[in-house]
Structure 1
């Protein structure tokens, strides 16, 4: 792995790590009762994720252009490395959810006091307080792992749909870029066809999946569902996300072929 690919994999790792830790923000909101404040902290994490994504795209595009101009395209292995880093980040994020949930719960309380994200950041980056971060470190409890069997009341169909949507969302942009490598004369067209894959994932996520999770969150806040049930549901969703990111490895090539075919016929 060369330096350029290592940078791309590192940025991909950050993007998917934050995407996984988003579930910790929901748990923190439920635990503290300050849902909106927890989502504010989540938006701060999303800012870091989007910044990483804005750097990742030109690095990846430049790598494809360089490979095409050099008349050799070992790009499938590159994309497999990138998707592998996404899977590693998701697995790491799953292990860090308990730690992130504790840290974010504390941050929510502090934000109520400081009333400013800037002041909260200054408070958090103090060297002495950084050393205290170790008190928030926690590993997933065995009870949380066993709760995967109950799924927090979520159906297998719902989790399967979530897995497939995550797989499509993960592979969409990469498939469009790889399709451009397969069809160099149409690579600009291919790069703009990621919506063929991502569009379906976005519809499923925002119209079918996210509303259900939001309703479940409201049920916990209004004591219609227990926090243990909510944690079981979140653990199941994190597991489904991990399976989806792994599944993306197998969808890369057929998705790229589909995009390349569409590019040839439109």
Structure 2
């Protein structure tokens, strides 16, 4: 693995790690009773994720251009490495969800005191407090893992839809770029056709999945649903996310071929 690919994998790792830790913000919001504040704090991490994404795209595009000029042979392997980094980040994120939840819960309490994001960041960046971060480290409890059997009341259809949506969302942009490598004469067209894949994922996520998860979060905040059941649901969704990222590896070539075919048709 060369330096360029290592940088792309590193940026991909950051993007998917933060995406997985989004579930910790919901748990922290329920635990503290300040859902909006917890999600606001998480937006700081989202900013890091979006910055990583803005750097990842040109690095990956340049790599494809170089591959087209030289040899396309290693390009598929490159995408497998990148998707592998996404899967590893999701697995690491799943392990760190309890740690992130505890850290975010503490940050919510501190923000209530400091009343300023800038002051909170300065408070947290103090070297002594950075050393104290280790006290938040914890592994997922066996109880939460056993609770996955109940899925927190979520249906299998809901879980499977999560797997499919995450797989499509993960592979969409990569498939469009790979399609451009398969059809170099239409690579600009292909790079703009990621919505063929991502569009379906967006519909599933924002019209079917997110409303249900938001309703469950509100029910947990109002104690209509127990925190144990909510944690079990979140644990199941994290597992579904990991399954979806792994499925994305299998969808890369079919999705790329579909986009390339559409690029030839239009």
SS of match in other structure, 2:10: helix
Shift of residue 73, structure 1, vs aligned partner: 3.9
1:136-184: per-residue Cα shift (whole Å, max 9, x none)? 0000000011011010000000000000000000000000000000000
* 1: CA distance, partners of 2:230 / 2:131: 31
Q: Calculate the TM-score normalised by the size of structure 2.
A: 0.99
Q: How much does 1:69 deviate?
A: 1.1
Q: In the TM superposition, what is the alpha-carbon distance from 1:196 to its structure 2 partner? A: 0.1
Q: Which runs of 5+ in 1 are unaligned?
A: none
**Alpha-carbon displacement from aligned partner over 1:210-229 (angstroms, at most 9, x marks no partner):** 00000000001111000000
Residue 61 of structure 1 is matched in structure 2 by 61
1:52 equivalent to 2:56? Answer no
Give the corresponding residue for 1:228.
228
CA RMSD in angstroms comes to 0.6
SS state of the match for residue 148, structure 2?
A: helix
Decide whether the 8 Å contact of 1:175 with 1:256 is kept in 2: yes
Q: TM-score, normalised by structure 1?
A: 0.99
Provide the rounded CA distance (Å) in 2 between the counterparts of 1:128 and 1:71.
Answer: 51
| 3-state secondary structure, aligned to 1:140 | coil
Q: Which residue of 1 aligns with 2:86?
A: 86
Report runs of 4+ in structure 1 exceeding 3 Å deviation. Answer: none
Q: In the alignment, which residue of structure 1 is the partner of 2:35?
A: 35
1:77 aligns with 2:74: no
62-71 or 6-15, larger mean C-alpha shift: 62-71
Aligned to 1:178: 178
Which is worse superposed, 113-122 or 176-185?
113-122
- Inter-partner Cα distance in structure 1 for 2:216 and 2:193: 34
Q: Map of 1:1-266 to 2, 5 A cutoff?
A: 1-266=1-266
Structure 2: stretches of 5+ with no match in the other structure: none
| Aligned equivalents of 1:247, 1:228: Cα separation in 2 | 29
- Counterpart-to-counterpart distance in 1, 2:211 and 2:203: 12
Contact 1:83/1:249 (<8 A) preserved: yes
Q: Would you say how many aligned residue pairs link Structure 1 and Structure 2? A: 266
> Deviation string for 1:115-149 (max 9, x for gaps)?
11111110001000011111100000000110110
What is the deviation of 1:72?
Answer: 3.5
Q: Is the contact made by 1:73 and 1:181 (CA closer than 8 Å) also made in structure 2?
A: no
Task: Tell me if structure 2 keeps the 8 A contact 1:103–1:136.
Answer: yes
